Chain A
Amino acid sequence: MGTLDLLLDGFQNALTLENLTYAAIGVLLGTFVGVLPGIGPAMALALLLPVTYGLEPTQALIMFAGIYYGGMYGGSTTSILLNTPGESASVMTAIEGNKMAKKGRAAQALATAAIGSFIAGTIGTLLVAFFTPSIADQAVKIGAPSYFAIILLSLVLVTSVLGTSRIRGFIGLFMGLTIGLVGLDLSTGQARLTGGLLELADGIDIVVVAVGIFALGEALWTAAHLRRRPLEVIPVGRPFMGRDDWSRSWRPWLRGTALGFPFGAVPAGGAETPTFLSYLTERRLAKPGAEFGEGAIEGVAGPEAANNASAAGMFVPLLALGLPVTATASILLAAMQSYGIIPGPTLMTDQPELIWTLLASLLIGNTLLLLINLPLAPLWARLLAIPRPQLYAGILFFASLGAYSVNRDPFDLALLLLFGLVGFVIRRFGIPVLPLILGVILGPLMEVKMREALDLSGGDISGLFDEGLAIFIYVLVALAIVIPIVLGRLRKRQDVPEEAMVR
């Protein structure tokens, strides 16, 4: 069957009333958490994961996909109306978007963001549908050594390329890897890092870690900074666009999509880079008098499209290789694992119905978002007046409920508190969450692949290097570590005089 047939099958499965309801719930919930800064789709997924154990895997994934895309939309609303980006990917949108809103063009800014996200999300999801099967076909042939190398590459890329501080990134990564180590050794049955506690022998559930770090950590952080001067929200009516706005927006939408998708698809995800590049591109291509710096619609359309295209691109490594590249993707991966679905190259052949239904519901969810988000924009803006104590009390309730329901064990609540404190501390010291959470989820997978490779070679270290692909990837890993350092040195040498003057 061709891709189109499979996708149409997926639509048939997704278009039942029940599945549509879950898509709609997901989309609304996603926008809700996206609008509120500090609460993102990753936290929402972690909180909902235990709640959805009773659902069919397909329905849960449909809802999660809706939350993921909805969160992206919601973030742009906050950036434009409040100049407070809900998540790092909307930072670029805030620059021109908020200026547009201040000039009284909030409705147009919201419209171009929503429609651009819709277009980018749709094209991106279609690209996922067409690319993933062929990549998965290739990926089946990848052996354990190369797989190990790929995981290593994605960990190194996420840690050393993204973020401002490499040392903080690696601290986060190693914290995550250590948490992933806790439990029984898979081949020898030895207890590792359990401190003699029987409850830790099965390892630490990813849900407890994720809820602790995302929800409890954020709640503690917010409690420590509870009272802040309120911000001013720019009132907005129903978003719409004039003819001039359309003609200025469609090229940035397509350019943003083209930039965003590849960045989302390589295992060094994150939407920060493509949104930034898209902003620069639009700025450079803008005609003189395009009011860049004072609210140019191109500067909203491009980055928003790039943001959503990269959000879609993330599904390629997730579905084809079982590799998450964003925090949200890693929770999705944990969700799949908890349903007994093993993500990886064989996923497309093992669970075709699930995957194609998921892709179809991504397209449906995207359309729902456009239909829901445009008319509801004024309502979303009102969410910003929710007092933090009430909001976070609700989050803490769900967090404790979720952590407890994983194993029905009060011990998990103690663990939750511990990871909540870890979450608070990493926020305090600016340690990025993404490497940590990727370390927790990819560490054990990486270990399995390493053991496989070493078993095949009889424990000889050469077993890790006996594939051409693996060696090629190790070269990339080395480059990913060395290049930023060299670039940093070069830049520093040039900057010395200027910096000296500044100081």
Chain B
Amino acid sequence: MTVVVGYIPNEYGEAALAEGIEEARRRGTRLVVVNATKGDALVDHRYVGEPGLAELQTRLATLDLDHEVRQTIGADIAEELLRAVDDTGAQVLVIGIRHRTAVGKLLMGSVAQHVMLDAPCPVLAVKPAP
């Protein structure tokens, strides 16, 4: 029984995290924060580095919430999220979504779409406050 959050260190990830924390409190379950990378570039700004990870851990520790941060490397970010959902028997998956252009979606695909269509549990899609 968990709430899984797809996290990246930017405003979309933060929005998802904030909503995920609320959701975990409301349901009284564990919070699993997943941060995944394709690991195919030398530098990935969406992957939480060591200082960022330490900061995230301290932030979560102040919350009085049973939590876990998972960092994974895999070919497909959506698959990494779905694996975490399966592993932990998640009740809900929280992700941040953003606008994509048609061409961008054609070229890069959409992690959000993949996750929503294939997740076994409800998916909560949130946006950062405008």
* A interface list, Cβ under 8 A from B: 36-37, 82, 84, 226-233, 384-389
Contact with A along B58-96 (1 / 0, CB 8 A): 000000000000000111000000000000000000000
Q: Which residues of chain A have C-beta atoms less than 8 A from B73's C-beta? A: 227-229
Q: Are A384 and B40 in contact (CB under 8 A)?
A: no
Among the stretches B14-22, B24-32, B43-51, B115-123, the one at the interface with A is B43-51
Q: B75: which of A84, A227, A228, A231 is its contact (CB, 8 Å)?
A: A227
A37 to B40, CA, bound (A): 13
Main secondary structure of the interface of A (DSSP, over half): loop
Whether B38 pairs with A227 at a CB distance below 8 angstroms is: yes
Given that A232-B49, A232-B50 are contacting pairs, would A227 and B40 also be in contact in the complex, using a CB cutoff of 8 Å? Answer: yes
Q: Does B39 contact A (CB under 8 A)?
A: yes
Q: Add 14 more A-B contacts to A226-B39, A227-B39 (CB < 8 A).
A: A36-B42, A82-B43, A227-B73, A227-B74, A227-B75, A230-B42, A230-B43, A230-B49, A231-B43, A232-B43, A232-B49, A233-B43, A384-B41, A389-B40
Which among A36, A84, A385 has the greatest number of chain B C-beta atoms within 10 A?
A: A385
Residues from chain B with a CB closer than 8 A to the CB of A84 are 42
> What's the minimum C-beta distance from A106 to chain B, rounded to whole angstroms?
14
For residue B75, which residues in chain A have a CB less than 8 angstroms away from its CB?
227
How distant is the Cα of A82 from the Cα of B50 in the complex, in angstroms?
A: 14
A-B contact pairs, 12 of them (CB 8 A): A37-B42, A82-B42, A82-B43, A227-B38, A227-B74, A230-B37, A232-B49, A232-B50, A233-B42, A233-B43, A384-B43, A385-B42
Instruction: Chain B residues near A387: list those with CB within 8 A.
Output: 38, 40-41
A413 to B60, CA, bound (A): 56
B78 to chain A: closest CB distance in Å?
A: 16
A385 touches B74 (CB 8 A): no
Which among A36, A82, A229 has the highest number of chain B CB atoms within 10 Å?
A: A229
Report which residue of B38, B39, B43, B74 has the largest number of chain A beta carbons within 10 angstroms of its beta carbon: B43
A272 CB to closest chain B CB (Å) equals 23
Closest to B39 in A: A227
Q: How far is the CA of A232 from the CA of B51 in the complex (A)?
A: 10
Chain B residue with minimal CB distance to A392?
A: B40
For B74, list chain A residues within 8 Å (CB).
227
Rounded to whole Å, the gap between the CB of B40 and the closest CB of chain A is 5
Contact of B47 among A230, A386, A388, A389 (CB under 8 A): A230
Q: Do A386 and B41 touch (CB < 8 A)?
A: yes
Distance of A250 Cα from B28 Cα, bound (Å): 63
Interface residues on B, range: 10 to 19
The answer to whether residues A385 and B39 also contact, given A227-B73, A227-B75, A232-B49 and a CB cut-off of 8 A, is no
Kindly list the 3 A-B residue pairs having the minimum CB-CB distance in the complex, ordered from nearest. Answer: A227-B39, A230-B44, A232-B49
A385 touches B49 (CB 8 A): no
Measured in the bound complex, the distance between the Cα atoms of B43 and A384 in whole Å is 6
Which of A37, A228, A233, A384 lies in contact with B39, CB distance below 8 A?
A228
With both beta carbons as reference points, the residue of chain A lying nearest to B49 in the complex is identified as A232
For B51, the chain A residues whose CB sits under 8 A away are 232
CB A439 to nearest CB in B, in angstroms, measures 32
Task: Find the A residue at minimum CB distance from B46.
Answer: A230
Distance in angstroms from A120 CB to nearest chain B CB is 27
Residues from chain A with Cβ under 8 Å of B45 in the complex: 385
CA–CA, A37 and B75, complex, Å: 22
When distances are taken between beta carbons in the complex, the residues of chain A under 8 Å from B42 are 36-37, 82, 84, 230-231, 233, 384-386, 388
Q: Are A388 and B44 in contact (CB under 8 A)?
A: no
- Report yes or no: A229 in contact with B39, Cβ–Cβ below 8 A: yes
Q: List the B side residues contacting A82 at CB < 8 Å.
A: 42-43
What is the CA–CA distance of A389 and B42 in the complex, to the nearest angstrom? 12
Complex Cα distance A386/B40, Å? 8
Which among B40, B45, B47 has the highest number of chain A CB atoms within 10 Å?
B40
- For A37, what are the chain B residues with a Cβ–Cβ distance below 8 Å? 42
Closest to B74 in A: A227
Complex Cα gap A84–B44 (Å): 15
A153 and B39 CA atoms in complex are apart in Å by 44
Contact partners of A231 in chain B: CB under 8 A = 42-43
Interface centre among A228, A230, A231, A386, by most chain B C-beta atoms within 10 angstroms, is A230
Query: Could you say which residues of chain B place their CB within 8 Å of the CB of A385?
Result: 41-45
A258, B110: Cα distance in complex, Å: 55
Q: How far is the CA of A387 from the CA of B42 in the complex (A)?
A: 8
Instruction: Output the least CB separation between B109 and chain A (Å).
Output: 13
CB closest chain-B residue, reference A84: B42
* Across-interface contacts of B37 in A (CB, < 8 A): 229-230
Are A230 and B39 in contact (CB-based, < 8 A)? yes
Residues in B whose Cβ lies below 8 Å from that of A232:
43, 49-51
CA distance A470 to B74 in the complex (A): 59
CB distance from B93 to the nearest CB of A (A): 23
CA A226 – CA B42 in complex, angstroms? 10
Nearest to B52 among chain A residues (CB) is A232
